[in-house]
Each structure stands twice: as C-alpha cells, then as structure tokens.
Amino acid sequence: MDDKKRGLDDLLSDLGIGENESAPEVVLEEERAPIVAQPNQAQDPKSVLEHFMVGLLLRLDPAYAVDIVQEGGLFRVEILGGDSGRVIGREGKTLQSLEFIVNVVMAKHFGPAYRVVLDAAGYRRRNEERLRRIAADAALQVEASGQPIELPPMRPSERRLIHLMLKQHPKVTTTSVGEGEERHVVVLPREARAPENDPRPKRFLELVQALQQELRAAGKPVVESRWLVAHAARLSDQELALRLAEFVPPDVEEAARAMLNLRLSGYPLQLLLGEAEFYGLKLRVERGVLIPRPETEGLVEHAVAYLPPDQPARVLDVGTGCGAIALAIKAMRPQATVWASDINPKALELARRNALQLGLEVTFLEAPFTANLQGLDLIVSNPPYLPESYRQEAPPELAYEDPNALYAGPDGLGVARELLPQAWKALKPGGRLWLELAPENVYTLLAEATAQGWLEAQVLPDLALQPRYLSLRKPAEP
C-alpha cells in the first residue's frame, strides 16, 4: 500500500501536481512527460488513447483498467478497479489533472479534433446527479413560492453545472453572488409572461412584458427588455423596478421600440446602451471596437489570482480594445504597474476615456504586441482567435466590431502564434503568459508552445466547461 502511494505521489510530482495545492497545475516538459511508449501514428484515435491510458495506469497500479466509449469527437473514459480514491484525489483534482494530460497527448497526435472526459468509479456521474437533484429541488421551491432561493457556497465547477442545468428552465433562472469561498448560486423566478392579447402597452410593466415576448420569439435573452426600457426612460434598472406601475410617456415607448427593432436586426445590445459591464466595471463601448465578453472575465480571474495582492508587479495587456482586461486588473491589483497595447487608435482613445472615467492609472501604447517592453511579470491577452472561414456563419452582431480583433488566419491562431516569441522576449525569467483562445484551437497552441520551451502549460475551462484559457511560464534562469 505504501509502495503504491509513493509511486502515485512520484508520478504526480513528475507531472507537477501537488496533493495539497488549491488547484492542480500540470507541468509539460518533454523529457518528463509520462508517455510510456510512442503510439503508431497510423492507429485510429481510440487505439492511441487506449494505448496511452493503459501505459499510464500500469505505472500506478496493475489493478486499474479502462473502459472507453466514443461519441463522435468525444471519448468518455472510465477508470475501473484499483484504489479509485487515489485516482480521483481531493475534490476530484487529481482526476482533473490526469484528464488534462490525456487531452494534451491527443492534441499532439490529432490536433483539436478530439476531447477526452475521464471518470473513475462513477465519481463524476454521482457528483453531477447530486447537483442535478439540488438544482431540481431548488427550481421546484422557487416555482411554488415565487421567491429566490440561495444555495450553499460551492466550488466554481459545481456552480457552473448548476447554471447549465437550469439555463433552459422555463420558470427559473440563476445568478452567482458573493466573493471567494462564500460565492454561491441564487435560483430566482423568471419574469412573468405578458397576456397574449395585450393591446398597446401603457404601463412600464406592460411595455417590459411586450418586449420580452418579441425577444423570446427571436431567441434573445428576455432580460434585455428591462435594460432597453430603462435606457429609453433614462432610468437605472433599480429605478425602473420602482416605477413599473406608472404610465409610460409616449416618447419613451417609441424610443424603446426603436431600440428593440435594432436589437432584433442584430445590433449589439451593448452598443444600444453605450456601455458594457465587465468584472464589476462599467465601460463605454463603441462601434468598431471589440465588446468585452463574459468569457474574458475568467481570463481576468486567473490573472488576478496569479498576482500577489500585496506586491508590485509589471503587467501588460496585449490587444486591449476598450481597456477591459487592463482596467479590471488595475482595479483588483492597484499596486501593479499596468500597460496596455493596441494598434487600433479608436480603441485606444476609448480605453483612455474609460480609464479616466474610472480613475484608474493604466499606460496605453499604440503599438503591436509587447511594444518593446521588458522585464514583465505577466502578459495577458484576448487575441483574435476565430478562423477566417467563420465570417460566413458569424452572427450579425459581429459585423459591428473590429474584424482585426476577431479573425486570425485559417485556424484562428495567426496572432497568438506571433505573440509567443514576442512575449518570451518581454517577460522576465519565470514570468507568465495567460491567453484566451477558442476550444477548437487552444490545445494546438499549447502543443506548439511546449515545443518552443514554455513550461507549466495549462488549459482551464470557461463557465460552460469548454477549454478556453492557456497559461504558460517562461523558464527561470539557471
């Protein structure tokens, strides 16, 4: 038993996974990667996966076995036998790290065509069933009472599952509140449906409900109705809530319906409102500049977690757009010195206005990539990562943003590839690079980066559990 435990610890140590770490981190160094044998490139993906998994598990305990089920480009792998608790690890973190390694191996052989999901002794399935019961019970209580229910604090991965499970529920919706370990999900009722035969609305509530119906029919979030009406009436969302029973001035209704028609035609909501909320900051947005996305808040979370709260640091945001990432990092880490670069003069002017409005000190540079800066602790970037072919199927909203901030070559990695050597020069030894990429190409760049000598390569998921964020570390000087 002790011999097996030491063997597992040794292997995880080789992979950069510590038993007591708050989040497992995988070190990908070619000379230390736990590949037992090189699979034949002519083999099919399932054979390559089985070959690697069997070889990896044999190093841990011969009692382990695997069951692999393929569903198109998705492989579900169940680890059977042996001591499942050691494979799962604390709160499933060892299992998560092993899954990451397997996905890297598959990406090196086949690119982003396949994804692997690992489970051990039904651990993930049982956890998902537990969360599904919690979500279903909360939804029933909210439907019955009409009142919000606060769930207990959960880990981020569990909160994401709750949000996904109730995303399409017709009666309830969800949000997350609180900070740190106290962050939790609130389940609350959706807005009431307007009467089907309602004539021209006269009160604010009736106008909101009428706009909800049209947004719902168009497949757009019904919550946008409140924001459109509030903006037309020059009210905050809270002020509108207090005036729902009041009559709507004719000019306000006319303005709200004009904005609704624009929205239904594909005009971005943020441009209609003139602002977007990002990481708790209200930012001005304009046509021709990338609108910050909720996914990018996850990139900021990782960057902020990397920076010590009580120490100075030198940080660069590459391709800043309206300044969202740089300003959010500066707001959360005031002691950091933050630069932001972009080649779009309009974006930089907008970013400077946002910084002035928020009272945050960020140096904006009109320059490509790292602007010849040196000795940086952290570089963070949300580069363009959509392939050129996506232009043909892109939603109409994207036509109002800067195409140079969206599309980057045949595989979407044209800019990110060029950034890697630039970031290497600009970072100090041991410095880190964080990137947001697409699930379809993030593992491709990971494999290329590790081949170039980057260390501690790690991919983390977004709120939809899609692989999204790539972290790389420049080696420290010997």
Q: What is the per-residue pLDDT across 334-373, written as a single tens digit (0 to 9) for each?
A: 999 999 999 999 999 999 999 999 999 999 999 999 999 9
CA distances, 440 to each of 195, 384, 416, 437 (Å): 43, 13, 14, 8
Residue 286 CA to residue 266 CA, distance in Å, equals: 15
For the chain, which residues make up each domain, given as ranges? Answer: 2-120, 125-189, 204-265, 290-473
Report field, pTM of the whole predicted structure over 0.75: no
Query: Does pLDDT of 34 surpass 50?
Result: no
d(CA 419, CA 452): 13
- The end-to-end CA distance of the chain, in Å, is 37
d(CA 276, CA 283): 5
- The single-letter code of the amino acid at 42 is A
Q: How confident is the model at residue 9 (pLDDT cuts 50, 70, 90)?
A: very low
- pLDDT category, 177, cuts 50, 70, 90? low
Token pair for 295: 């996914």
Query: What average pLDDT does the chain have?
Result: 84
Query: Are both 2-120 and 290-473 of the same fold?
Result: no
pLDDT at 35 over 70: no
Buried b / exposed e over 230-248, threshold 16 CB at 10 Å, is: bbbbebeeeebeeeeeeeb
CATH code that applies to domain 290-473: 3.40.50.150
275-296 per-residue burial string, b: 16 or more CB within 10 A, e: under 16 = bbebbebebbbbeebbbbeeeb
> Domain 125-189 carries which CATH code?
3.30.1370.50
Distance (Å, whole) CA 449 – CA 442: 11
Residue of higher predicted confidence among 16 and 70: 70
* Dihedral sign from CA coordinates of 267, 388, 322, 334: positive
State which CATH number among 3.40.50.720, 2.60.40.1930, 3.30.300.20, 3.60.21.10 fits the domain covering 2-120.
Answer: 3.30.300.20
pLDDT tens per residue across span 194-221: 344 445 446 888 899 899 999 999 989 9
Shortest CA distance to 46 belongs to which of 145, 132, 94, 116? 116
**pLDDT bracket for residue 387 (50, 70, 90):** very high
